[in-house]
Structure 1
Amino acid sequence: MLTSQRKQLILEKLEAEGQVLSGALSIQFDVSEDTIRRDLRELATEGRLQRVHGGALPASSATAPFSERKSLKIEAKKSVAQRGAQLISSGQVVIIDGGTTTSELITFLPRHLAITVITHSPGIALGLVDHPSIEVILIGGRLYKHSIVTVGAAAIEGINTVHADLFFMGVTGIHPEAGLTTGDYEEACIKRAFSGRAAETIVLASPEKINTASSFVIGDVSLVNTVVVENGTDADWINAVSEKGVSVIMTADHDNESR
């Protein structure tokens, strides 16, 4: 079998099963584990998968530059963002992470909603400038241009002065075993710090983030209290996440409650 054929079969197996193990692939293709590891390494370099200990997981497409991610799964992002906005109550202090899905979240905040928003995203802050009832606190620091958010020691210092009701965390991958991941080390540190300052952490999980992984771990799935997903999300994934103590809300839930 040609290397290219074996790689394609690995990708097909990964798509079908959500995970591949080096040892099992070695037996399946009758090649050494070194050969499989080389295949996985080359596929990871191409951005086709995320290597983890013992094998690989699907790579998240949510690690692309902000300008490219804006148009990725846009309807799904709007759907989970709209449902997420319904979880916010007047009078709360709400941390909103940077990201394309959270950028959609703020467009669904009612004009009468009186809250305080804390963010390290200049884009989120600017998006709320004309909102009449929302107070905005912008966390400073070094601007990480890829995601257009502030990071570093100054950002951590600002975060440590906060006690919030909710934190809407942006992730690039959420996987029952690999946990919550993102594409940058400093961003992962910031997200952990924000989560530690909020009574409840919420993830708006559009489809490209589900069952995928990126290079840097924010924490275990159990770090999150609630995940908002589209109706029809894979039941096995929902069960696996629920077993970690996470509440899963589907976008159709509110519609069903309204009926």
Structure 2
Amino acid sequence: MSLLPRRRFLRRFGLGLAVSALPGRRWRETILWEAAAATPDAPAVVTLSLADFPALGSDLGSVRLTVNPVGPDHFPRGNIYPFLVNRVSEGVFRAMSAECRHAGCVVESYDELSEGIRCPCHGSVYDITGQRIVGPAPDGSSLGPLPLIYDGIGSLQVTIPGLAFRIAPSRVDLGGGGGRLRLQFPTLPWVTYEVHFRERVSDPGLPVPFSSSPEGPPDQWTVTGDELPATVYVAPPGGSGFFEISMLLLEE
């Protein structure tokens, strides 16, 4: 396990079409899409590139990923449990919750030397597929499986419950020149968010600075969630495009 978690981009939660204008038209009123929390178990699909995770380049490789950090008590500092992605064999991957089936502690990633996924709290051990081997976890139990699709080339898609946004439109009056766009979105505790912009749907999103007030300096790049809605203000772009809210993924 690395001493310092490496922040990796998780996925873009689209706020929808944030800005759209004909060339030369002044910005006065724009359709925004405000994000709201979906149902508690609404899933989100996380796309991972194997090139970003060297441990998954060989059999029995394993990584533990999360959107909120794990505390010294081995429980998540937030609402979302980490998840494991394990390479069982060539072309065979498994994704599973890192929540131990005994008392809910966060288990470690698979260790090839000890041939198991160990719970640091009470010593339960699971195999590479998440099946219990020994320990106080119930007989026959397994770490909660997560749907995973491997494209056969180098990309994995993992479905994580509880991360989706619900999209609803709203209007924002820019009040003439110099106005800013207001983006509002729900947050989860301890999760780090960025604002991204792209001109076309097919373009990669690029981080942009924002402010926490309509008139404040746009010198912020991240927001840490506290379970309350976050509101940020961004400068309107010179042309049409999309603003999106992004979560940051931690590899521990």
The structure with more helix, counted as a fraction of residues: 1
Between structures 1 and 2, the one with greater strand share:
2
Choose between structure 1 and 2 for higher RCO, CA contacts under 8 A separated by at least 6 residues. Answer: 2
Greater C-alpha radius of gyration = 2
Normalised to the residue count of structure 2, the TM-score between the two structures is: 0.26
Query: With structure 1 as the length reference, what TM-score do the two structures score?
Result: 0.25
